[in-house]
Amino acid sequence: MKKLWILGMLLTTALLYTACDDDDDNGPVDKNLQLSVNGLTDLGSGYAYEGWLIVNGTPKSTGVFTVDGSGMLSKSGFKIPVSDLSNASAFVLTIEPSPDSDPAPSEAHILAGDFSNGSANLSVAHTAALGDDFGDAAGKYILATPTNGPDSDENSGVWFLDPALGPGATLNLPTLPAGWTYEGWAVIGGSPVTTGTFTQVDMADDAAPFSGDQDGPPFPGEDFLVNAPTGLTFPTDLSGTTIVISIEPVPDNSSAPFLLKPLLGNVPADADSHTTYEMMQNLNSFPTGSVTSN
């Protein structure tokens, strides 16, 4: 009986010592990283968002999540090693293929922020994301259809140029980092129709699927003359429509504008062709957020 009592005391002492050692000396192995972001969109099939901590210069994944049609994150809490949190200098949010065989981040960095004292405020302006707040973004456009000759269906095309400049470029947009491109759009009958993707405001964009058989000017833009998408008829009249400049991830699996839309232009109902119209900033379309460890 005495031996059993002594053995019990030894076991109790050992358990107490071990518990104290875990709490006081080692501490918790993991902490929770809580992500809060407003303004993200459903990426559709084939893509997902992924968070990264930059730890001693090396990106370490914090986890993958999706976003539904109402902007709700499928997961917002992630278990992260304490050592990574202690040595992290930044948090970066990327767009990744899903499934993804590459363990490294993609080039499409949408949000980032400096990680300090266990938290970070996230924005597109951080140098590890798009690197600009687009506060200087500006643009103008004209209605014209140069690819079918003069004076024919002139309100059925949109070009980001000013004839009075020789012609000259009218878009003022920062150079995008790798993983992103600009795209122009005309919202016709409620349907967004691309004018093409581009990275230079003073060069032609990458495609002319709806234009006529003559060369267009060396600027972004499009004539809507042929090959109308289902439900639309070309030529059309862009009066009363909306012109959009978006920022698109590369690659892009969607035929609609991405959530980043720095410039919008409301075409007047009585619009005249070959007249320059101003675009407005639309920076409230940009997502923002934060991450916090606890």
Place of tokens 């020789």: 166
Q: Which residues contact 158 (CB under 8 A, 6 or more apart)?
A: 141, 142, 143, 144, 184, 186, 195, 221, 222, 238, 243
pLDDT of residue 151: 83
pLDDT of residue 23: 40
pLDDT tens for 151-176 read: 899 999 999 999 999 999 999 999 99
Place of tokens 């008829």: 233
Q: What is the mean pLDDT of residues 64-92?
A: 96
Which runs of consecutive H residues, i.e. helices, occur in 78-235?
82-87
| Rounded Cα–Cα distance for residues 262 and 285 (Å) | 7
pLDDT of residue 25: 53
| Residue 242 near residue 166, CB atoms below 8 Å | no
Is the confidence at residue 9, as pLDDT, over 50? no
pLDDT of residue 28: 76
